[in-house]
Amino acid sequence: MPEGPEIRRAADSVEKALKNRTIIDISFAFEQLQGYEEILRGSTVTRVDTKGKAMLIRFDNDQVIYSHNQLYGKWYIRNAYTYPKTNRQLRLALHNEKKSALLYSASDIEVLKNGEEEEHPFLSKVGPDLLSEDVTPDDLFARFQEKRFQRRKWTSLLLDQAFIGGIGNYLRSEILFVAGISPFSRPIDCTEEQLYRAAKACIDLMWRSYENKGITNDPALAEELKKKGKKRYEYRHWVFNREDRPCRIDGTEIIKFRAASRRCYYCPTCQKNPAPS
């Protein structure tokens, strides 16, 4: 499943194609949405936001197209009325004079009115979006210590979109590694220093992945490994997808296990929690 950084990059490309241009045509595959085609035709896209793994295309007539790609949705940007070769089903097409933004395979598409986000079943519950909202390490440090979160295991907490929007499976393993936190612990088991490192890691890795096309490893190290001829999967991450490989810090074998029914990776020597006294 694409994670926050991938969704934000898709939103950037949709925004680049559509922003400040008039929609000359739009079509929805789902019958219940086709009534909106006439409402949106002739309107102008003002911006494209993300909220966790959801995308919001905002129009100058107070309409908002909400889409959530789940596992399969994929955006394509093409010159106007040009279509990619794909077996996917076209679900939403937005055209202006220059470009077409085409959403394939997604089934979770709605049209909202500006402000209706607050009552929306997903949007009203999703936690802070680290790429589009001004969230500081101090904000997250406080959030980790809230009663509703502090006794939950990190492995389920980090995937919970109500905790932080946009963290998915690879970011979960990478954040815990960079923070030096055992994946079997909870916020309440951590020292203040670990919690602060986790807060910084959430923000830093989300941005690093967004700016470096999914790379969460140290960018200089990734570049060095790439120059040595290593493949993307070999230099992309600290621990994710690296079972039985040596830890990049201390050489310990990386361990893979399942948590919340998804694969999780960690270094047993770098990621330890001192027993709270």
Task: State in angstroms the smallest separation of the CB of 255 from Zn ion.
Answer: 10
Name the residue nearer to Zn ion (CB basis): 103 or 270: 270
**Shortest distance in whole angstroms from residue 252 CB to Zn ion:** 5
Residues found near Zn ion in the complex (CB under 5 A): 247, 249-250, 252, 267, 270
Of residues 223, 219, 197, 200, the one with CA closest to residue 208: 219
For every residue of 135-185, DSSP letters joined together read --HHHHHHHHTSHHHHTS-HHHHTT-TTTSBT--HHHHHHHHHHHT--TT-
Q: How far is the CB of 263 from Zn ion (least distance, A)?
A: 18
CB 126 within 8 A of CB 52: yes
d(CA 218, CA 198): 16
Q: Would you say 102 or 267 has its CB closer to Zn ion?
A: 267
Report, as residue numbers or ranges, the catalytic residues.
Answer: 2-3, 53, 262
By beta-carbon proximity to Zn ion, the closer residue of 221 and 249 is 249
Helices 169-179 and 192-211: crossing angle in degrees, nearest 10, is 130
CB nearer Zn ion, residue 202 or residue 270: 270
**Taking the complex as a whole, how short is the minimal distance between the CB of residue 154 and Zn ion, in angstroms?**
17
Torsion of CA 6, 61, 108, 97, to 10 degrees: -60
Query: Least distance from C-beta 144 to Zn ion, angstroms?
Result: 23
| Residue 145, CB-side half-sphere exposure with 13 Å CA sphere | 13
How large is the C-alpha radius of gyration of the chain?
21
Q: Which is nearer to Zn ion, 91 or 236 (CB)?
A: 236
Could you give the CA distance from residue 271 to residue 249 in angstroms, rounded to a whole number? 11
